[in-house]
Amino acid sequence: MQVWVTHCSAWAPGLESAEQWADFRPDCLPETDAKPAAAGVPAMTRRRLTRWGRQALEVAEPACESLAADAPVIFSSRHGDTERTFKLLQALATDAPLSPNGFSLSVHNSALGIFSIIKKIQAPSVALAAGRDTLAAAWREAETWLQQGARQVLLVHSEEPLAEFYRDYADEREMPAALALVLSAQPEPAAPSVCLTMEDAGESAGHNSLLIEFLAWWHGSQQMLTADTGNHRWCWRRGAAQD
């Protein structure tokens, strides 16, 4: 399906402006503990959020400026907030009391819930995860809403590398980053069109997460991105849809 990207905002440590993203290279990932300002989030709520949640809300905020009130909202993340989840599991393992605040913010839809409350969103919304295919699966979910008649869909994808305890099990290179896209089924002035297709997986999966590959492609000049997750091969193409 051909869609038009009417808005794109992205954040990673040291990468905020279009000029900074233009210099982004997948072989040089940020490794700082920097957090986004998330100025659109009330201070009391902001203090409760880890970087994973703050960066999701940081990129979602500017997308709302052109978002229709009835636009469905998708929040996606492969792992969610594993640092917070690990702390809860540690507490369980030592018979320590669980933090109600920590538990409420550990669920996969926590950032989406906070966003919908802050923005008073009453449109349909969903939080999803699909392993290494998560970003592409969220895009497919957006396409489904557009095919069902939605004028726009907001897609927010936030990733944080696995908590240190789980790093040995990582099967791809990851970086802390968030991406917000507003997708439309109708052409709009200056909005690039993009088509996503799926093929059978190749012989081996790529080393980088889909988010890393997508961000490098989107801010680059290549017409097509091909990324293999080991489950599927995903191809994003700028311009006209393929027959």
Query: Could you tell me if residue 133 is inside a domain?
Result: yes
Q: For residue 242, what pLDDT is reported?
A: 45
Q: Are 72 and 151 in contact (CB under 8 A)?
A: no
Place of tokens 């700028």: 238
What's the token pair of residue 45? 């709520």
Q: Which domain holds residue 182?
A: 2-191
Query: Could you tell me if residue 63 is inside a domain?
Result: yes
CATH of the domain at 181: 3.40.47.10
Query: Could you tell me if residue 59 is inside a domain?
Result: yes
Q: For residue 10, what pLDDT is reported?
A: 97
Query: Could you tell me if residue 182 is inside a domain?
Result: yes
Query: Could you tell me if residue 122 is inside a domain?
Result: yes
How many separate domains does the chain show? 1
All residue ranges of the chain with pLDDT < 70 are 240-243
Query: Could you tell me if residue 229 is inside a domain?
Result: no
Give the separation between CA 49 and CA 45, rounded to whole angstroms.
7
The pTM of the full predicted model, rounded to 2 decimals, is 0.93
**187-206 burial by CB neighbour count: b if 16+ within 10 A, else e?**
eeeebebbbbeeeeeeeebb
Query: Could you tell me if residue 185 is inside a domain?
Result: yes
Q: For residue 97, what pLDDT is reported?
A: 86
Query: Could you tell me if residue 234 is inside a domain?
Result: no
